[in-house]
C-alpha cells in the first residue's frame, strides 16, 4: 500500500471554487464511503476546513485510485471534474506523507502555524476510526503527524509568531476604525472558529457580543468572556451596533445579507464598519463590500494580507522538526515491509534448531537436566547471534530503499519460498 493525497487547497484553488466544494459532516462521510467502494482504495480520511478539502488514502494502485477519488469528489460535491481538474493537487508516496506532516504542523496553512488544523485533523481521524474507514496505515501516519504538530508548537515557538486570520482581520479593522478597545465587535456563530474570534477580540480589548442560532451556545461563550449574547432574531439590531462583525457560522447559505447591512448603515448614520468573513462557504454577502462606509474582508483578502513568513527562524525550526519526523516515519514504514521476511527467516531457523535439539536429546540420554539446558541455551545463543546481523541489515536497507536484492538473497539462502528448510 502507498499513501495518496488528492484535493484542493488555498495554494492554487480560488476561494469561489473552495466554497462550491465545501463539505458538511454528512458530505465528508458520503465522500469517504464513495471512495472506499474503489477496489484500489483501502483506507480514507477526509479533511475539510476553510482553506482545504483533501482526501488522504492508502491505495494499492495509483491510477485507479486517482480516477475513483476524483469521481467520488465530483459526485458528492456536484462540481464537474472539468471545473476541478486545473485546481486539484496530488501527492503520492513520500511526498504525500510529507504533506500530511506539514499540514499537521500548520506549515501548509493560509495562516502559517495556526493551531486549529490539529483539532480538525484529530476530528477527521476519529470519524474515520468510528466508521471503519481508517486502518493501521492511516492511523499510524496521522497519529505521528498529530504528535509532530504538537511538538512543533511546543518546541519551536511557531504558535507565538504566527498571525491568525482573525488577528489579521482585526488588525485591518484597527487600521480603518481606530483602537480595538474603543470598538464593539459582533461575533456571529458559536462554534470553534467563532470562539477563537470572540476570545481574540476580547483579549485585545474589544467589547464583544455573540449572536448564534443556538442561543445556549452563544450564552455559554459570552459568559466565558464576560461578554453579551443575543438571539439570532436580534441580528439586525446587533449589526447596527457593531463596528466590527466577525462571522463564521458553518451555514450553507448567506447569513449576513446586503439588505441587513444596508439597514445597519442607515441606523448608524453611515459610521464605517468592517465585516470579517471567516466562513467557508462565505457568510457575508459579497455585495456588502460595495456599500459606502463598509469594508468586507473574506478569506481571499485575509490570505493575501498574511503573506510571507517563510524566512522566520521559527518556521525554519518547524520545518526541521517535520523533516526529522517524516524521515523517522518513512523508516518505520519501510521496516514494516520486511517484517514478513524477517519473521519467515527466524521461523525457518527456529524449525532447524528444534529438529537438531530433538536429535541431540535422543542421542545423549545420559546428560543431566542442567547439562542439557546449557547445551540448548548455547545453541539458541549461537543462532541468535548469527541472525542478528542479517535482521539489522535488512531493516537498514529497507529504510535506505535498497532492500529488494538483499531480501531476495535472504529468502533464497533460507529457502523461504518453499516454506523453510
Residues 24 and 46 occupy one common structural domain:
yes
Residues 16 and 147 occupy one common structural domain:
yes
Residues 293 and 377 occupy one common structural domain:
no
Residues 124 and 196 occupy one common structural domain:
no
Cis peptide before 281 (omega within 30 of 0): yes
* pLDDT at residue 395, as a whole number: 67
Q: Using the 3D structure, point to which of 139, 161, 183 is the last residue of a domain.
A: 161
Residues 215 and 269 occupy one common structural domain:
yes
Q: Is residue 148 included in any domain, yes or no?
A: yes
Determine contact, residues 8/52, Cβ cutoff 8 Å: yes
- Provide the percentage of residues in the chain whose pLDDT is more than 90: 57
Cell numbers found for residue 126 = 476519529
Predicted confidence (pLDDT) per residue in 189-227, tens digit: 988 788 889 999 999 999 999 999 888 989 999 999 999
**What does the pLDDT average to over 267-294?**
92
Q: In what order do the strands lie in the sheet with 207-212?
A: 228-231, 207-212, 184-188, 244-247, 273-277, 294-297
CATH number of residue 117's parent domain: 3.30.460.30
Residue 419 has pLDDT above 70, yes or no: no
Q: Is residue 332 included in any domain, yes or no?
A: no
Full domain range(s) for residue 186: 165-306
Query: What is the phi-psi region of residue 292: left when phi exceeds 0, alpha when psi lies from -120 to 50, beta otherwise?
Result: beta
Residues 142 and 177 occupy one common structural domain:
no
Provide DSSP, 80-103: -HHHHTTT-EEEETHHHHHHHHHH
Residues 134 and 173 occupy one common structural domain:
no
Cα(172)–Cα(291) distance, integer angstroms: 18
Determine contact, residues 129/143, Cβ cutoff 8 Å: no
Cα three-residue angle 389-390-395, rounded to 5 degrees = 100
Q: What are phi and psi of 111, to 5 degrees?
A: -105, 100
Grouping H, G, I as helix, E, B as strand and the rest as coil, residue 109 is coil
Cα(219)–Cα(404) distance, integer angstroms: 62
Q: Which of 105-114, 311-320, 355-364 has the highest mean pLDDT?
A: 355-364
pTM across the whole model: 0.67
Number of other residues whose CB lies within 10 A of the CB of residue 335: 16
- Count of structural domains, the chain: 3
Q: Is residue 205 included in any domain, yes or no?
A: yes
Residue 414 has pLDDT above 80, yes or no: no
Q: Is residue 319 included in any domain, yes or no?
A: no
What's the chain's average pLDDT? 87
* pLDDT at residue 402, as a whole number: 57
Residues 156 and 171 occupy one common structural domain:
no
Determine contact, residues 65/91, Cβ cutoff 8 Å: no
> Which of these ranges, 1-10, 283-292, 389-398, has the smallest mean pLDDT?
389-398
| pLDDT band, residue 307 (cuts 50/70/90) | low
Q: Is residue 125 included in any domain, yes or no?
A: yes
- The bridge status of strand 2-9 relative to strand 52-59 is antiparallel
Identify the CA nearest to 46 among candidates 16, 22, 67. Answer: 22
Predicted confidence (pLDDT) per residue in 158-169, tens digit: 876 656 788 889
Cα(183)–Cα(172) distance, integer angstroms: 13
Predicted confidence (pLDDT) per residue in 364-385, tens digit: 988 999 999 999 999 999 988 8
Determine contact, residues 121/146, Cβ cutoff 8 Å: yes
Q: Is residue 276 included in any domain, yes or no?
A: yes
Q: Using the 3D structure, point to which of 290, 306, 322 is the last residue of a domain.
A: 306
- Which stretches within 46-135 are classed as H helix? 62-77, 81-84, 94-105, 116-131
* pLDDT at residue 418, as a whole number: 45
* pLDDT at residue 162, as a whole number: 58
Cα(247)–Cα(302) distance, integer angstroms: 13
Cα(19)–Cα(51) distance, integer angstroms: 9
Residue 420 has pLDDT above 50, yes or no: no
Residues 77 and 223 occupy one common structural domain:
no
**What does the pLDDT average to over 26-46?**
95
Number of other residues whose CB lies within 10 A of the CB of residue 242: 24
**What does the pLDDT average to over 285-301?**
92
Helix or strand (DSSP H, E) at 386: helix 369-399
Residues 193 and 296 occupy one common structural domain:
yes
Predicted confidence (pLDDT) per residue in 138-156, tens digit: 999 999 999 999 999 889 8
User: 253: exposed, middle or buried (C-beta count within 10 Å: 0-12, 13-18, 19+)?
Assistant: exposed
Q: Is residue 315 included in any domain, yes or no?
A: no
Residue 35 has pLDDT above 50, yes or no: yes
Predicted confidence (pLDDT) per residue in 246-273, tens digit: 998 877 789 999 999 999 999 999 899 9
Please pick, among 22, 36, 50, 278, the residue that the annotation labels catalytic: 50
Q: Is residue 298 included in any domain, yes or no?
A: yes
Predicted confidence (pLDDT) per residue in 318-327, tens digit: 999 999 999 8
Cα(372)–Cα(357) distance, integer angstroms: 10
| pLDDT band, residue 312 (cuts 50/70/90) | low
Residues 144 and 193 occupy one common structural domain:
no
Q: Using the 3D structure, point to which of 109, 127, 161 is the last residue of a domain.
A: 161
Residues 362 and 244 occupy one common structural domain:
no
CATH number of residue 285's parent domain: 3.40.50.720
Catalytic annotation on 50? yes
Amino acid at each position: 500500500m502507498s499513501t495518496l493525497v488528492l484535493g484542493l487547497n488555498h495554494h492554487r484553488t480560488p476561494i469561489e471554487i473552495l466554497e462550491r466544494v465545501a463539505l458538511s459532516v454528512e458530505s465528508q462521510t458520503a465522500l469517504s464511503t464513495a471512495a472506499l467502494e474503489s477496489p484500489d482504495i483501502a483506507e480514507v480520511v477526509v479533511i475539510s476546513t476553510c482553506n482545504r478539502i483533501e482526501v488522504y488514502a492508502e491505495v494499492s494502485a495509483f491510477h485507479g485510485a486517482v480516477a475513483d477519488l476524483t469521481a467520488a469528489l465530483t459526485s458528492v460535491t456536484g462540481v464537474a471534474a472539468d471545473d476541478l481538474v486545473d485546481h486539484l493537487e496530488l501527492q503520492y508516496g513520500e511526498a504525500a506523507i510529507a504533506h500530511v506532516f506539514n499540514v499537521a504542523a500548520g506549515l501548509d496553512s493560509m495562516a502559517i502555524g495556526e493551531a486549529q488544523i490539529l483539532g480538525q485533523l484529530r476530528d477527521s481521524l476519529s470519524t474515520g476510526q468510528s466508521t471503519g474507514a481508517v486502518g493501521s496505515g492511516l492511523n499510524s501516519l496521522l497519529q505521528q503527524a498529530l504528535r509532530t504538530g504538537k511538538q512543533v508548537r511546543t518546541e519551536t515557538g511557531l504558535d507565538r509568531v504566527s498571525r491568525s486570520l482573525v488577528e489579521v482581520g482585526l488588525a485591518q479593522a484597527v487600521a480603518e476604525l481606530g483602537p480595538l478597545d474603543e470598538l464593539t465587535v459582533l461575533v456571529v456563530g458559536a462554534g470553534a472558529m467563532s470562539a477563537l474570534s470572540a476570545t481574540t477580540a476580547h483579549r485585545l480589548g474589544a467589547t464583544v457580543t455573540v449572536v448564534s442560532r443556538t442561543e445556549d451556545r452563544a450564552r455559554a461563550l459570552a459568559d466565558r468572556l464576560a461578554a453579551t449574547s443575543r438571539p439570532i432574531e436580534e441580528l439586525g439590531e446587533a449589526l447596527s451596533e457593531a463596528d466590527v462583525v466577525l462571522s463564521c457560522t458553518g451555514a450553507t447559505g448567506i447569513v449576513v445579507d446586503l439588505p441587513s447591512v444596508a439597514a445597519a448603515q442607515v441606523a448608524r448614520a453611515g459610521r464605517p464598519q468592517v465585516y470579517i468573513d471567516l466562513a467557508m462557504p462565505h457568510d457575508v454577502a459579497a455585495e456588502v463590500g460595495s456599500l459606502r462606509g463598509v469594508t468586507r474582508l473574506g478569506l481571499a483578502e485575509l490570505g493575501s494580507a498574511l503573506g510571507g513568513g517563510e524566512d522566520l527562524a521559527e518556521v525554519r525550526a518547524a520545518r526541521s522538526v517535520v523533516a526529522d519526523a517524516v524521515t523517522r516515519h518513512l523508516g518505520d514504514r519501510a521496516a514494516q515491509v520486511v517484517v514478513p521476511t524477517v519473521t519467515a527467516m527466524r521461523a525457518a531457523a527456529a524449525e532447524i534448531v528444534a529438529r537438531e535439539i530433538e536429535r541431540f536429546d535422543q542421542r545423549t540420554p545420559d546428560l543431566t537436566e542442567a547439562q542439557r539446558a546449557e547445551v540448548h541455551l548455547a545453541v539458541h545463543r549461537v543462532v541468535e547471534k548469527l541472525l542478528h546481523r542479517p535482521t539489522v541489515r535488512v531493516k537498514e536497507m529497507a529504510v535506505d530503499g535498497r532492500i529488494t536484492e538483499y531480501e531476495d538473497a535472504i529468502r533464497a539462502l533460507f529457502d523461504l519460498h518453499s516454506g523453510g528448510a
